[in-house]
Amino acid sequence: MRVSDGTRTRGRRDHNPELYQLSYAHQATVSLAVIWVVSGGVFALTFDDGPDPRGTPAVLEALDAAGVRATFFVLGERVERHRGLFERVRAAGHEVEVHGYEHLRHPHVSRAAVERDIDRALEVLGGAKRWRIPWGHLAGFTQDVADQRGLEIVGWSTDTHDWRGDRAEVMLEGLGLTNGGIVLAHDGISVGAQRSTAAETARLVPMLVEAARAAGLAPGPLRPIWPVPIPISSCSSCSTASTRSQPAWAASGSKQHATTRCRRGW
């Protein structure tokens, strides 16, 4: 098996890029990120608002059964309350990153409050590399707060809206599968959610994994190097997404955009 050009995988309709990645990894001296690009597309599975006994176990079991790992953006306050569940997420090999300590809406609170919140969360987690901002609602200071702590802000490219309590089939229908796509889902149940468990989110996992693989994409956690620019803020109601270089609300000069026009759950 050759590593350099990836011709063994190119053009195959039935290949599983994840398996090839693992296979290559035994022999390769080049970085995994390069192998991912060579061997096929990637698609990130991300889960927010846990750890939560009402949702996290079902999501973990679904991921395990599907043989995939994911990235969990956790809340420090919940990590403290459900430390055993948090350790279970880590022990299963998933990536753990930070969502906050509480679930603050940045444009509604002070910079000092956000700084206290993220620092407390980072202390609980023992550090993080990536930060998903609650609701994807950045304030004018959010990027600076992230930069000071070496955190990369991660939004999403497609949203399950699983907090609404839709059936898995409905959620799958609404998702976009693209190379470098990042899907937003929730293993945590929070205020405003129109569901009491994450059962449908868990049921979505194998469907989504199958659909991604059929599209030639390897579902998994966010990798250290991502093949496309990562959105930092998303507005699900008006279907706009922004990247580091082009935040929509920043460009419009209105940080009220997200809070006045966009309505979504956690």
Residues within the interface to Zn ion (CB under 5 A): 48-49, 134, 266
Query: Is 48 annotated in the active site?
Result: yes
Active-site residue, selected from the candidate residues 82, 106, 137, 186 = 186
Q: Which is nearer to Zn ion, 33 or 109 (CB)?
A: 109
Q: Which is nearer to Zn ion, 49 or 200 (CB)?
A: 49
> Which residue lies nearer to Zn ion by CB, 15 or 120?
120
Nearest distance, CB of residue 127 and Zn ion, angstroms: 20
> By C-alpha distance, which of 99, 96, 75 is closest to 87?
96
Q: Closest distance between Zn ion and the C-beta of residue 230, in Å?
A: 17
**49 vs 52, which CB is nearer to Zn ion?**
49
Per the CB < 8 A criterion, the answer to whether 157 and 178 are in contact is yes
Q: 15 is written with which tokens?
A: 């290949």
The CB density around residue 15, as the number of other CB atoms within 10 Å, is 17
Give the whole-angstrom CA distance, residue 232 versus residue 247.
7
In angstroms, what is the minimal distance from the CB of 190 to Zn ion?
Answer: 7
Q: How far apart are CA 210 and CA 64, in angstroms?
A: 14
CB of 186 to Zn ion, least distance (A): 7
18/49 with CB nearer Zn ion: 49
Is 42 within 8 Å of 218 (Cβ atoms)?
A: yes
Q: Tokens in use for 164?
A: 């609404």
Tell me how far, at minimum, the Cβ of 188 lies from Zn ion, in Å.
7
- We find the least distance from the C-beta atom of residue 43 to Zn ion, in angstroms, to be 20
**Cβ-based neighbours of 260, under 8 Å, separated by 6 or more:** none
* 94 counts as catalytic: no
Looking at beta carbons only, is 38 or 153 nearer to Zn ion? 153
Dihedral over Cα of 209, 215, 217, 221: its sign: negative
The whole-angstrom distance between residue 262's C-alpha and the CA centroid of its chain comes to 20
Extended beta strands in the chain, E state? 41-48, 71-75, 95-100, 130-131, 152-153, 158-159, 181-186, 217-220, 231-235, 240-243
Classify strands 152-153 and 95-100 as parallel, antiparallel or unpaired: unpaired
Q: Which residues carry out catalysis?
A: 48, 186
